[in-house]
Copies of this chain bind each other. A is one copy, B any other.
């Protein structure tokens, strides 16, 4: 099973990049260090729920909007059901 923090990080980074914002800018708004935010984005640190909220606020994102995006990411990494291939075709 893939790791939640990896998907959370990828999603946060995508949201930031889509807004054309720098790590420095978002870290400042969220009142976290640039290094810490960078580690969260790379899935190397577990962010506390409070920190996730602070980053969401800095990005002007609802928690539910962020998590909906995370669900899509997680689904795309889950093992798909086996498909029957018709060799006779």
Contacts and interface: CB of A to CB of B under 8 A. Distances in A.
Interface residues of A, number: 24
Please report whether the interface of chain A is mostly helix, strand, loop or mixed according to DSSP: helix
A1 interface: yes
Given A46-B49, A68-B71, A1 B78 contact: no
Contact of A67 (B52, B62, B74): B74
Task: Give the number of times this chain occurs in the complex, counting copies.
Answer: 2
A42 interface: no
A75 to B, nearest CB: 5
Interface of A: 1-6, 46, 48-50, 52-53, 56-57, 62-64, 67-68, 70-71, 74-75, 78
